[in-house]
Structure 1
Amino acid sequence: MDFANFLIQLLNSVQYGLLLFMLAAGLTLIFGIMGVVNLAHGTFYMLGAYLAWFFTSHFDNLLIAIVLGALLAVAFGWALEWLLIRHFYKRDHLDQVLLTFGLIYIFQEARSILWGDDVHSVAVPAMFNGAIQLTENLSYPVYRLVVSAVCAGLALGLYLLISKTRLGMKIRAGAFNREMTESLGINIRFIHAIVFAMGVGLAAVAGMVAAPISSVYPGMGSSVLIMCFVVVVIGGIGSVRGALVAALMVGLVDTFCKVLLPEIAGMAVYMLMAAVLLFKPEGLFKS
């Protein structure tokens, strides 16, 4: 592999890893802070992709589609937490699994009724529809760099929110000791609603920015859900920093194994997870 090909695969790894982080960050916050096993998290990624296609087809502007879709996704997450999720905080994990598993079928059927079962494409914005020439024969799409930059910006924003703000302090306190946090007068239900809505919003935005790359199709959320859980387990449940490190590791291993060792590419990520858990059963970082 020459340097140009190595650089392309490295950039692909980072872009995929940062996209996985946006998905896994919401999942690890919901599971680590709220204690909810959310199997429906991948459908929020699918919802975002379909919203990007729907709004782009009406406004012919991906940026407008992302803004409108993100607002709708956050509102949807808030409503879902208020109507259903908050009633399962103190229930057994099996009840949560059954609820969120049922939501997958409900969301899939709702998607089929609203938008059908066809595969759709979302056009790359004209200003990013170019490529950076690396060699005479190899180039790298500008839009993939934009996706990496957007994901990195959101990752930085999430880090600053969690570690540098009063809201972040309350979120971390609720994750560490819910009962003590409530006894100090903090409305933990309100914190949970914010965390769940934020997790849904992050997953939906990930789907929206990825739509021009991967297209929009039924069941697209199922393929990313397993990878999200792998990232959460490797990074440590409830740790945003761990989710970022683990997502980048998964991105590197998955991308380079598909190029260099295609015969084991399907299990390479799970081998990485097994190796990490062998030495760090709680994941790389604690919440």
Structure 2
Amino acid sequence: MDLANVLIQLLNGIQYGLLLFMLAAGLTLIFGIMGVVNLAHGSFYMLGAYLAWWLVARLDSLPLAIALGAVLALALGWLLERALFRHLYHRDHLDQVLLTFGLIYLFEEVRSLLWGDDVHAVPVPALLDGSIALTDTLAYPVYRLLVMGVCVLLALALYLLITRTRLGMRIRAGAFNREMAEALGVNIRLVHGVVFAVGVALAVVAGMIAAPLSSVYPNMGAPVLIMCFVVVVIGGIGSVRGAFVAALMVGLVDTFGKVLLPQIASMLTYMLMAAVLLYRPEGLFKP
């Protein structure tokens, strides 16, 4: 494999890793701060992809569709937290697993009723439907570069929210010691609502921006959910920084594994997780 092909696979791995981070960041926030095992997180990714296909057909603009979808996702996350997840904070993880597993089937049925079971494609916006030449024979799509840029900006915004704002201070306080934070006047219910809404919005937006890169199809959130849990475990449960580093590691290992070691490519990410846990059972970073 020559240098140009290595560069292309490197860009593909980074782009895949950054998308995984958007999903895993919401998952690790919800689990690390709220203590809720959310198996339905992959379904939000699927809903985002279908929402992108449906809104683009009506608005004829992917950026407008993503903006509207993000608002709808925040509202959906807020309502789900108030109606369902708020009652699970002091329950066993088995109760959380049963509820969120049931939500997977619910979202699949809602998707089937609203949009059917066909496979769809979302067109890349005309302004971004081009490529940047790397060599005389190889080029890289502009839209994939834009996806990487958007993911980096969202990662930076999430970092600043958690580390540089009063809301982020309350989020970290609630994650460290909920009872003490409540005693000091922090509205933990409000914090949990915001965290869950942001986590859902990240998953939905990830599905929307990824829709033009692949087909939109039923149950597309299941394999993504598995990879998200791998990222969360490697990075450290509750650590956004760990999720970022682990997502890039998983993205690169998966991408180069499919090119260099296709026979065992499906095993490589799990081998990476096993190797990390062997030396750091708590993950790479602590929250």
Distance in 2 (alpha carbons) for counterparts of 1:217 and 1:265: 23
C-alpha displacement of 1:135? 1.5
Alignment of 1:143 onto 2:139: no
Cα shift readout 1:42-75 (whole Å, capped 9, x = no counterpart) = 0000011111111100011000000011100110
The share of aligned pairs that are identical, in percent, is: 75
Cα distance in 2 between the residues matched to 1:174 and 1:242: 19
Give the letter aligned to residue 32 of structure 1.
G
CA distance in structure 2 between the aligned counterparts of 1:69 and 1:120, rounded to whole angstroms:
18
In the aligned structure 2, how far is the partner of 1:47 from the partner of 1:39?
14
Alignment of 1:127-138 (within 5 A): 127-138=127-138
- 2:93 counterpart letter in structure 1: H
Distance 2:97 2:170 in 1: 26
- Corresponding position of 2:208: 208
Give, in whole Å, the separation in 2 of the partners of 1:260 and 1:114. Answer: 41
In structure 2, C-alpha distance between the alignment counterparts of 1:218 and 1:136, rounded to whole Å? 39
Residue matched to 1:254: 254
Query: Structure 2: how far apart are the matches of 1:28 and 1:110?
Result: 26
**Structure 2 spans left out of the alignment, 5+ residues:** none
Partner of 1:44: 44
Query: Using the alignment, how far apart are the partners of 1:18 and 1:50 within structure 2?
Result: 20
Aligned residue-pair number? 287
The SS at the match of 1:263 is coil
CA distance in 2, matches of 1:214, 1:38: 25
Counting only pairs closer than 5 Å after superposition, residues 156-171 of structure 1 correspond to structure 2 as: 156-171=156-171
Distance 2:222 2:257 in 1: 22
Structure 1 counterpart of 2:64, one-letter code = I
Q: Aligned runs of 1:1-287 on 2, under 5 Å?
A: 1-287=1-287
In structure 1, the gaps of 5 or more residues are none
The structural deviation recorded for 1:264 is 1.0
1:25 shift after superposition: 0.1
Query: Any runs of at least 4 consecutive aligned residues in structure 1 with deviations exceeding 6 A, and if so which?
Result: none
Structure 1: which amino acid aligns with 2:145?
Answer: L
Structure 2 residue identity aligned to 1:183: A
Quote the Cα distance in structure 2 between the aligned partners of 1:2 and 1:182.
58
**How far 1:175 sits from its partner (Å)?**
0.5
Residue 41 of structure 1 aligns with an amino acid whose one-letter code is: H
Deviation string 1:125-158 (CA, Å, 9 cap, x unpaired) is 0110000111122111000000000000000000
Aligned-partner residue type, residue 186 of structure 2 = I
SS in 1 for 2:264: helix
Provide, for residues 26-53 of structure 1, a one-character-per-residue CA deviation record: whole Å limited to 9, x for no partner. Answer: 0000000000000000000001111111
TM-score w.r.t. the length of structure 1 is 0.99
Query: What CA deviation, in whole Å up to 9, does each residue of 1:151-180 have, x standing for no partner?
Result: 000000000000111100100111111111
Q: What CA distance in whole angstroms lies between the structure 1 residues aligned with 2:119 and 2:70?
A: 22
What is the distance in 2 between the residues matched to 1:260 and 1:224? 22
Residue type of the alignment partner of 2:6: F
Q: Residue 132 of structure 1: SS of its match in structure 2?
A: strand
**Structure 2 length-normalised TM:** 0.99
The one-letter code matched in structure 2 to 1:209 is I
Instruction: State the Cα RMSD in Å.
Output: 0.5
